[in-house]
Structure 1
C-alpha cells in the first residue's frame, strides 16, 4: 500500500561489518505501482526478462496486452485499476525475486504485502508462477463486481482510527505503528477522510480503485476457493511470513484453498509480520538481516528502516528499484546501487555477478 503521509525514502542502514548478511525479500502490493515500473530491466537482465515473459505467456492474449501496456511509453489507461496493477505487480515482484535468487543470495524468508504475498508464495514454491498468475487474474475479475471503492493511508495507529470505522469502512492494513490503511466503498471512505481531517489526522488515498482487504469484497470472492483448489499447492520451500497471520506460513495453511481465497479481503498485518521476522530465533539480533525490497518503489524500505531492530543496526535495507518513476536509466542505476549494497553486506560475496550495462 502507499507509504505513510509525508513519508519518503531514507538512507539505507548498515549491517554489522565482517559478518555475511542473510537476505529476506519484501514484496510490495497495491499502491506501489507506477507506469513502466522496472521496464528498464526488461531485455537487459535475462533472468528478469524470462520471468516476466513466463507470466505474460501464462495469461495468453490478456498477458500480451498487459505486456504492451507495461512497456508503452505513454498509456491512456490508468495503472491503478486492479485488472492491470495486480497482475503487473505480481509479475514484477516475482521477476525481481527470481533475479535475486539467481544471484545466489538464498533468501531465508519472504514477506509479501497484499498481492506481494502471492509473489512470495510463487517464489517459495507454494504455487507455480503460472498458477499464481491465473489466481491473481481470477481474483481481479471477481472484485471488479464490487462497489466502487478504495483505500486510505492514515498517519495514525489502529486505536486512533477506530472511531472512524463502520459497517463499510475497515482496517485494510497495519503497515507501521502510526501507519494504518482503511478500506471501503468510495462514498463511505470519503466521509471517513473528511472526519479524519476535521480531527487533525493526516490521510491520503492509496492508488487503488478497489477496497482490497475489506469484508465488502466477500460476496465477490464466493467461488474463488474452488479455483484455488483446482491448482497444485505445496509446502513453502522458503519461509514465508504471512501478512494475513503475521507468522510463518504453515504447510496446512499453504495447502488450504480457503486461506488464499480469503486473502484479498483480510487485513494485511505487515508491521506485525515484520516484527515476527526480525524477532525470530536467528533473526536480526543474531546476524545482520538484509531486507531487500523486490518490487516497485521504496515504501516497504521506508517502513522497515523505522523498525527498532533495524535502527539498532541489526541489519540493513536495500531497495532494488527507484523510489519514483525515472525511466530505464534510473531502473538500472538503482539496481547497480542495490548490487553494491548487497555486496557490502556480504549477501553476494563470491556469487555470480548480475548482468548490468
Structure 2
C-alpha cells in the first residue's frame, strides 16, 4: 500500500495580514462564512468594526494595529481551517506563527471554539502603552546581526535561514534599520504597532495566561507542532495556560519548526504544506529545503496571491487545493468532521 503524504496546515501571524485576505471565500464557502460570522456576532459592535476593517480595500492602516490584525488573523485562520476540514478532512498537523498558533490550538480543540471572542479580548484588549513599537524583517540570520542594535531591541522571530524579525521601540528600530542598511543588509518594516515577541510583552503575557486559565484548556485532538519549541505540543503543555501565553514575549522559531517537520518527513512520503497566508510567506523558506526543492513535499496555497484579491481568485485557489487533497488522499482520506 502506498503511504500518503501528510497534510500540514500553516497559519499566519502578525505582519502577514492583508486587506480582504480570504474575502473571496466569504459568502461563497459556507463553513468559512459561518465561523467568521459566528465570531463577528459574538464580538458585537467590535465584530462589526472588524468585518468593516477586513473588507475595506488597501491601503487600510487600521490593519497595522494589533486590535484589528490579530483578531482577524485568528478568525480567518480558524475559519479557513474549518473549511478545509469540511471539504477534505482535517489536516494531520497544525503549525501556526504567533497568533496563528492560537488558531491552531482552537482547530485542535485545545481552546474552545465557542469562546474565541473571549480569547480575542484577552489577547489584544490589555496591551500596555509600553509595548508600542514595531517589527523589522532583516534578510540575515540572527548570528549575522551586530551584537548591539539598540535599547529594547530583541529577536522576535526566525522565519528562515536568512530571515530574522526584530522587535522593539519605534525610534530604536528606525536607528537599527539605518545601521543594518549601512551594513548592506535588506530590511523591511512589518505591519505591526507593537513589539511582539520581545520582553516588553512579558506583563501582557502574564495577564493573558490568567485569562486563558479560565477558558478550560483540553488535550489536543490533532497534533500541533509548536513554533515556540519546534516540537509537537505535549498534553501537559497544551493544558498549561502559560505555554500559550508566554509566546507573546518569546521568539517565534518558525524556521526551526518548519525545517524539523520537513526533516522528519524524510524522502518519502513527504508533506503537503497548506499555506494559509495571503502573502504566501509561511512556505517561502521551505522552497529551499531539499524535501521541497528536489523531494516529495509540496507547497499548496489555500488562497490567491494577495495581489490578486477577489472572489474568483480566492475561490479558484481554495478549490484547487481541495482537489489536490482529494486526489492525494484517495482511500486514506480522513472523514470530514462536523464543524
Structure 1-normalised TM-score?
0.87
- Structure with the higher helix share, 1 or 2: 2
1:210 aligns with 2:194: yes
Partners of 2:317 and 2:148 lie apart in 1 by 39
The runs of 5 or more residues in structure 2 that have no matched partner are: none
Q: Within 1, Cα distance between the matches of 2:233 and 2:213?
A: 18
Answer whether contact 1:89 1:295 (CA < 8 A) is retained: no
Q: Is the 2:156–2:252 contact (alpha carbons within 8 Å) kept by the matching residues of 1?
A: yes
SS at match of 2:144: helix
In 2, distance between residues paired with 1:70 and 1:348? 38
Q: How does 1:1-150 map to 2 (within 5 A)?
A: 20-73=4-57, 78-143=62-127, 145-150=129-134
Q: Distance in 2 between matches of 1:149 and 1:347?
A: 48
8 Å contact 2:135–2:196 — kept in the other structure?
Answer: yes
Correspondence for 2:166: 182
Q: Is the 8 Å Cα contact of residues 96 and 295 (structure 1) preserved in structure 2?
A: no
Structure 2 CA distance for partners of 1:108 and 1:52, relative to 1, 3 Å: same
The answer to whether the 8 Å contact 1:318/1:342 transfers is no
Q: Distance in 1 between matches of 2:178 and 2:28?
A: 46
Equivalent pairs, count: 334
In structure 2, C-alpha distance between the alignment counterparts of 1:205 and 1:152, rounded to whole Å? 5
SS at match of 1:142: coil
Contact 2:229 2:253 in 1 (8 A): yes
Of residues 312-321 and 219-228 in structure 1, the stretch that sits farther from structure 2 once superposed is 219-228
Structure scoring higher RCO (CA < 8 A, sep ≥ 6) equals 1
Compute the displacement of 1:213 (Å).
0.6
Stretch of structure 1 that moved more, 333-342 or 210-219: 333-342
1:13 corresponding residue in structure 2? none
Gaps of 5+ in 1: 1-17
Q: Is the 8 A contact 2:71 2:120 kept in 1?
A: yes
Alignment partner for residue 316 of structure 1, among 298, 304, 312? 298
1:200 is matched with which residue? 184
TM-score, length-scaled by structure 2: 0.91
